[in-house]
Structure 1
Amino acid sequence: MLNTALPVLAKDGTVADNTYQLIGEDAVLPQGDVVLTVEQLDQIAHVLGKKALYLTVDASPEEHQFPLDQLDAIFIEFAGFNDGRGYSFAALLRRQGFEGELRATGDVFKDVLNYMKRSGFDTFVVKEGKDIAEAAKGLGDFTQPYQASTAVPKPNYQTGA
């Protein structure tokens, strides 16, 4: 599950504290910015701060209709290094028109950050135990991408760069 105590790395390399809170086991809606699970989406109208949705691999945007226009952020969990569904979810949500923040959580570390950024992610919660400053270096691993992506609509070979 999501660890809201970990700092958040932005795609520009800056680090900030997380402002989002989870609904506790007592089901009391916290004040401020709130992360809702798919099962808690019925509470969205009661959130006073920013609204985020937490997606696991079981909640594909291809199979569910989410209120994208009501969400400020979507957190997508990467259950493991070998599970690429989070990349697909991010690209699909961008194609569906979501313009808010996409945040990668779970198995997030230096070697995957550049790929996550190219898939449309804006922020990252680096895996607990990993150095966030070292991980941030992964954001600049590839500066001249060959293929198009969500983040790079036209690759260099098509622009003449």
Structure 2
Amino acid sequence: MLNIALQVLSKDGTIADNTYQVIAEDSVLPQGDVVLTTAQLDQLANISGKKGLLITVDDSPEVNQYPLDQLDTIFIEFAGFNDGRGYSFAALLRRQGFQGELRAIGDIFKDVLNYLKRSGFDSFVIKEGKDIQEAAAGLNDFKNPYQASTAVAQASYQTGA
């Protein structure tokens, strides 16, 4: 399981502590905010706090139905820098109507944050060993996107701005 306990960087640049807990396969469901794997979704109704779901590269929302209206946060794993499926998963979940928080975890660092924001992500767990303050400072490196995205309905050239 990935280390979700690291601090969380929001797309607005704020940094906060993680509140979600992960449950082991054979352990008791903890109180508070909990993130489940897709295999543990049957425990969703038993969570007392915020409800999270971890989607790995094997859990595509294109072929799996998730109770999007019951989830507060979806954690999307990026197993490696060269695997872009998480971007597609985020855009697909937004098109399916998910309004909650999308959190990128795994191989996440400053250089990919702009692309993650444009794909619909709200927060990021920066890879262990990378500087979260530096990543936060780089969130606004690109202010005027050329293309529209899930984060920007119309690019600047389309609005006349």
Aligned to 1:146: 146
CA shift at 1:127, angstroms? 0.1
TM value normalised by structure 2 = 0.98
Consecutive unaligned residues of structure 2, counting only runs of 5 or more, are: none
Which stretches of structure 1, 4 residues or longer, exceed 6 Å deviation after superposition? none
Greater Cα shift, 22-31 or 46-55: 22-31
Q: Distance in 2 between matches of 1:15 and 1:100?
A: 18
How does 1:56-75 map onto structure 2 within 5 Å?
56-75=56-75
Consecutive unaligned residues of structure 1, counting only runs of 5 or more, are: none
Aligned to 1:46: 46
The CA deviation string for residues 124-157 of structure 1, in whole angstroms up to 9 with x for no partner, is 0000000000111231121000000000011111
Q: Distance in 2 between matches of 1:56 and 1:125?
A: 15
Amino acid in the other structure paired with 2:157: Y
Aligned to 1:76: 76
Amino acid in the other structure paired with 2:49: G
TM value normalised by structure 1 = 0.98
The CA deviation string for residues 54-82 of structure 1, in whole angstroms up to 9 with x for no partner, is 00000000000000000000000001111
Amino acid in the other structure paired with 1:23: I
Q: Distance in 2 between matches of 1:42 and 1:25?
A: 13
1:124 aligns with 2:124: yes
Q: Report if aligned partners of 1:32, 1:48 keep a CA contact under 8 Å in 2.
A: yes
Amino acid in the other structure paired with 2:42: D
How does 1:19-30 map onto structure 2 within 5 Å?
19-30=19-30
Greater Cα shift, 22-31 or 125-134: 22-31
Amino acid in the other structure paired with 2:128: E
Q: Distance in 1 between matches of 2:137 and 2:115?
A: 13
Aligned to 2:107: 107
Q: Distance in 1 between matches of 2:140 and 2:75?
A: 22
Aligned to 2:12: 12
Q: Distance in 1 between matches of 2:22 and 2:29?
A: 8
The CA deviation string for residues 85-110 of structure 1, in whole angstroms up to 9 with x for no partner, is 00000000000000000000000000
Amino acid in the other structure paired with 1:158: Q
Aligned pairs, number:
161
Give the superposed CA RMSD: 0.8
**SS of alignment partner, residue 53 of structure 1:** strand
Amino acid in the other structure paired with 2:114: N
